[in-house]
Structure 1
Amino acid sequence: MDWTSLLCWAPVFALVLARVGATMALLPGLGESAAPAIVRIGLALSITILLLPVAQPLTPPVPDSGLAMALMVAGEVVTGLWFGWVARMIVLALPIGAQIIAYLIGLSNVLQPDAELGAQSTALGVLFELAAPMLILVSGLYVLPLQALAGLFTLIPPGHMLPGGDGAQVALQTVGTAFALALQLASPFVVASVVWNVAVGQIARVGGRMQIYFVAMPAQILGGLALLMLTGSTIILVWRDKAESVLGLLPGSP
């Protein structure tokens, strides 16, 4: 292959790499910040090379203006970030549900901030946040976003802007699905918390000046941890099944 052929492939390579690289920054499992940067860069380059034969016939002619080419690359970055964010939202449902559970069972307290976890984080939320990418990789769900990414080049060819209306609709649906799933995962704890707080309120009315909070709080934490032990595997299985169905319906999926 001579230099002329390589120059013909260069614009396509730049467009595909812009979309794939932006997607890899947010893709669940493969694009985690804990992964070494060299690994993510290598994955982005490998996927770009594999997708070049698919994207090359769909790429429009290279514009004469450098500004027009820069706008095309920027559009690819936006499309990649949008796709990666949509794929990540369903994965975030697991740590969001864990955050809700932690608040309900009393494992979060504004008087006890943790400098390492963050002011708005809980140990339970961080635990499930670390578990989510591991489950994605172990279960093989990372294949579904990659397949959808390959099909996305047919749905939105390189050099074309992301449709604003359709993109916003998909983003809103994904956010709604993620938060609904998070609440579904935490639903046993929501019910238990309502019943527990009603019971504690009734006891407080009967007990008079008794400091019921200091008596009820340890029991609330122990009961919540016991319920988490009983429902933990079910929570993960429900999340995995829903994540598989959502990732299998990403834009561009076969």
Structure 2
Amino acid sequence: MIQDPEGLVLALVVVFCRIGGCIMVLPGFSTARIPVMVRIFISVTVSLALLPLMWNDVYPKIERGISNYVLLIAMETLTGVVLGLITRFYALGLQFLGTVITMMIGLNTPPANDILDDTSEGQLTNLITFAGLMVLFMLDFHHQLFLAIAQSYKTWPPGAGFEAQKALVSLVDTLSTTFTIMLRLASPFILFNVLFNMAIGFINKLAPVVPVFFISTPYLVLGGTILLYFGAAAMLSLFGDGFSQVLR
């Protein structure tokens, strides 16, 4: 590697493009709360750590032509973005989960600032999103992802071009798996909402004069909050276990 300093720098840039593209959309690292320079330093550090392992795969693919090298950089960046989106889609499923739970238990609080991004989100959704992301970091999901990036050089070798169909299939499979997992996690709250509203409907038939909507709302929130209190630990545990299905 020292015998060819120019090739060393070119290979480092190629590895940086794939890793930097992944970290650019990676949940937790791509949040607006982390400065851009910190993300760049993380990308450079990981690139330097993985370059010796990826040397035999990257260095032979480097072309001295400017046009070929620019095309290689673009393809590597797209590959890294796709790898990062696989994890980001799974993390974004927490927002879907939080929105469903908020609707099912009737906890329609005013939107607040998102903890991770510069958007407005419900307070319960913020809580679930932050807790789920913290669980992923506790399970070292970023280590697993960096390992997946290293292994991706075997399945998506540099210089072979960007396979749009394979990338689209991977993203669609991730969305399908994420939707199934999040719907399974939200199923107790959906069942609770259906049973509660059926019971309230029967009560309304028996006593039409009673304003059941105003009476039932506090009980709906109370029951849903109790269900969330006892089921939060199991829900987050299942969320962490489902991450391995996404990386397959």
- Regarding TM over 0.5, the answer is yes
**Structure possessing the higher relative contact order (Cα contacts under 8 Å, 6 or more residues apart):** 1
The match for 2:41 is: 42
Gaps of 5+ in 1: 250-254
Query: Over residues 92-147 of structure 1, what are the superposed CA-to-partner deviations in whole Å (9 max), with x where a residue is unaligned?
Result: 33332122111100112xxx643535987321111111122221222223211111
Shift of 1:16: 1.1
Greater mean alpha carbon deviation, residues 20-29 or residues 168-177: 20-29
Matched with 1:139 is: 139
Aligned 1:1-254 pairs, distance under 5 A: 5-59=4-58, 60-64=61-65, 66-108=66-108, 113-114=110-111, 116-117=113-114, 121-247=121-247, 249=248
Question: C-alpha distance in 2, partners of 1:149/1:61?
Answer: 19
TM-score, normalised to structure 1, is 0.86
Report if the CA contact (8 A) 1:17-1:45 is conserved.
yes
Distance apart, 1:167 and its partner CA: 1.4
The TM-score with structure 2 as length reference comes to 0.88
Cα displacement string for residues 68-89 of structure 1 (whole angstroms, at most 9, x for unaligned residues): 3222211111111110000222
Contact 1:20 1:47 in 2 (8 A): yes
Residues 99 and 121 in structure 1, CA contact (< 8 A), matched pair in contact too: no
Q: How much identity, in percent, do the aligned residues show?
A: 26
Distance 1:33 1:162 in 2: 29
Distance 1:119-1:52 versus aligned 2 partners, 3 A rule: closer
Instruction: Note the alpha carbon deviations across 1:29-55, whole angstroms, 9 max, x for none.
Output: 444433343332222101111222233
Distance in 1, matches of 2:29 and 2:137, equals 8
SS at match of 2:141: coil
Alignment check: 8 A CA contact 2:18 2:79 kept: yes
**Equivalent-residue separation in structure 1 for 2:243 and 2:237 (angstroms):** 10
Number of equivalences: 243
Supply the AA of the counterpart residue of 2:54: A
Describe the superposition over 1:147-168 as per-residue Cα deviations: whole angstroms up to 9, x where unpaired.
1011112221223323122211
